[in-house]
Structure 1
Amino acid sequence: MSNETSEIDLSGGWPEHLKVPPRRPSAQPTAGRVLGVDVGKARVGLALSDPTGTLASPLETLRRAKNRADLDRLAALVVEHEVTEVVVGEPVHLSGASGASAEDASNYAQELADRIPDVPVILIDERLSTVTAASHLRESGIDSRKQRPVIDQAAAVVILQQFLDSRRQRT
């Protein structure tokens, strides 16, 4: 057996006799951190996944600003944490209908997507995420008066964890 290599001239295109194996579609979604966003009228709660996309953790709460400084901060966090996907909760009514809050979340998600064109921004149904978050905080011993500073982050954790869990179940 010879260890010699030979050059192939590709200037005229790919030779017909050399077959290229087809690319296999990856079974796993893009690896990397996912950012969860809970959009409220006054505040935006953020949660971040671990690099494997398994566990959601609270990140921070942004105050919504008329000058859109919150969106600037959010775009900076996407870069800082090397986020590969952003999930924005869409507050749909229990009936499935969309209201003013859902429209606000959708508009916010679009403005964010315009600022981070290389990172997908996905809207997902977040029915009862704040109720679930408040329940979890109560179970952790945090009374309702002390929940306000962290409720938005906790809701973002619920939104993100539901997304991560549902994606894992599909694969």
Structure 2
Amino acid sequence: MRILALDYGSKTVGLAITDPLGIIVQPLKTIWREREGKLRKTVEEIQETCKEYQVEELVLGYPCHMDGSEGERVERVLAFQEMLKKKIELPIHLYDERLSTMEAEEILRENGVPKDRQKEVLDQVAAQVILEDYLRNREEG
């Protein structure tokens, strides 16, 4: 069972995916757009990715503040989730993404990824972190 994770940002959405057994997670790609509101093509690309990889569930990073409160970014993620629901008939799980970008940056540094290349893959590695954490907590829960 493949699960696709999405790390939503103002101009990008990072994607990470599990293997067909839903065990191993790997970064997949980053979808870039010119402006935050330009989401139609982004949703279409996610829809195509779901079909291509036979995805059965989505995990969408939920950007709470460190104290657990919700801010402006949460509203944007919830609006994005609603757009996804209209086009993609799969379960969409919101999952706390606190510190996922910092952890992704650390992973890239530890693996010697040059600074100029990190921006290209940061969001998909953050999606990988979100999905790995989601799977780990789902098993424990």
Relative to the length of structure 2, the TM-score reads 0.93
How many pairs align?
138
Q: Which residue of 2 aligns with 1:86?
A: 58
Q: Whose radius of gyration is greater, 1 or 2?
A: 1
Q: Which residue of 2 aligns with 1:68?
A: 40
Q: Which residue of 2 aligns with 1:163?
A: 134
Greater helix content: 2
Name which of structure 1's ranges 140-149 and 72-81 shifts more when overlaid on structure 2.
140-149
Aligned 8 A contact 1:36 1:86 in 2:
yes
2:18 corresponds to 1:49: yes
Greater strand content: 2
Per-residue deviation, 1:133? 0.3
Pick aligned residue for 1:144 from 115, 121, 125 = 115
Q: Indicate the structure whose relative CO is greater, using CA pairs within 8 Å and at least 6 residues apart.
A: 2
Query: How many angstroms apart in 1 are the aligned matches of 2:26 and 2:39?
Result: 28
Q: Which residue of 2 aligns with 1:4?
A: none
Identity of aligned residues (%): 38
2:133 aligns to what SS in structure 1? Answer: helix
Query: How many angstroms apart in 1 are the aligned matches of 2:54 and 2:39?
Result: 25
Relative to the length of structure 1, the TM-score reads 0.77
1:45 aligns to what SS in structure 2? Answer: strand
Structure 1 unpaired stretches of 5+:
1-31
| Deviant stretches of 4+, over 3 Å | none
Structure 2 unpaired stretches of 5+:
none
Query: How many angstroms apart in 2 are the aligned matches of 1:144 and 1:102?
Result: 28
Per-residue deviation, 1:145? 3.1
Q: Residue type of the partner of 1:77?
A: T
For residues 131 and 152 of structure 1, do their structure 2 counterparts lie closer, same or farther at Cα, with a shift above 3 Å needed?
A: same
